[in-house]
Amino acid sequence: MNKAQVWLEKTLQYQFQDVDLFKRALTHRSASNKNNERLEFLGDAVLDFIASEIVYKVRPNASEGDLSRLRASLVKDETLAALAIEIGLGEHLILGIGELKTGGNRRDSILADSLEAIFGAVFLDQGFEAAKDLINRAYADRFLKLPNVVDLKDSKTRLQEWLQERKMALPNYELTNVSGKDHEQRFIVTCMVTDRQVSTHGESTTRRKAEQKAAQKMTELLIEQK
């Protein structure tokens, strides 16, 4: 744990008073029953509150819906995993043999959950203000340089709005193929717009992501045909 403690102090300027809390935050369920799942639950709530406060202050004229989208862009797994990679969290995770062999320390979901667990552990260790300070350091200018709300609409939403504006039927999504082992599956989804008799395909590691890719391709195709 000494190496992990030095890393945390160097990257996020934090020292745990209760080192056992820190160890648990780094421990995946594949390694021990004393793992970070409960801390992740707590950290998720702490992060949600802090992110909500930030977007509320930074975007004073934003609607409730826009604030929700901004917050979602900050707390989603992709953002958390990117942060975890930037600070080198994966090198210090405590994983079971199976997860180690399959590269669990590089998996987005594990990285995101572990970072949230650290947020939760800091909250328990030294309170809300300590957790808030650490989260602000972790996010740095991400809190200040929030994206344009229009850019936060996902591909399926943009496609739906494009079709609705033209009084066209909504698209249909069909899962057409699933391949690979359980921990590395690939999903292929077909997106169909019957009014134009066209279809596109999206492939990714989850059905949701595959749908988003298919929708993006469909929007691009329809705009080209316009």
Q: What domains sit in the chain, N to C, each tagged with a CATH number?
A: 2-148 (1.10.1520.10), 155-225 (3.30.160.20)
Catalytic-residue membership of 116:
yes
176 in Cβ contact with 189 (< 8 Å): yes
Catalytic-residue membership of 129:
no
Write down the catalytic residue from 99, 113, 116, 211.
Answer: 116
Write down the catalytic residue from 44, 99, 113, 125.
Answer: 44
Alpha-carbon distance of 98 to 95, in angstroms, equals 8
- Its pTM stands at 0.73
Alpha-carbon distance of 154 to 159, in angstroms, equals 9
pLDDT of residue 39: 98
Residue-averaged pLDDT of the chain? 92
Give the model confidence (pLDDT) of 33-86 as tens digits.
999 999 999 999 999 999 999 999 999 998 898 899 899 889 988 899 999 999
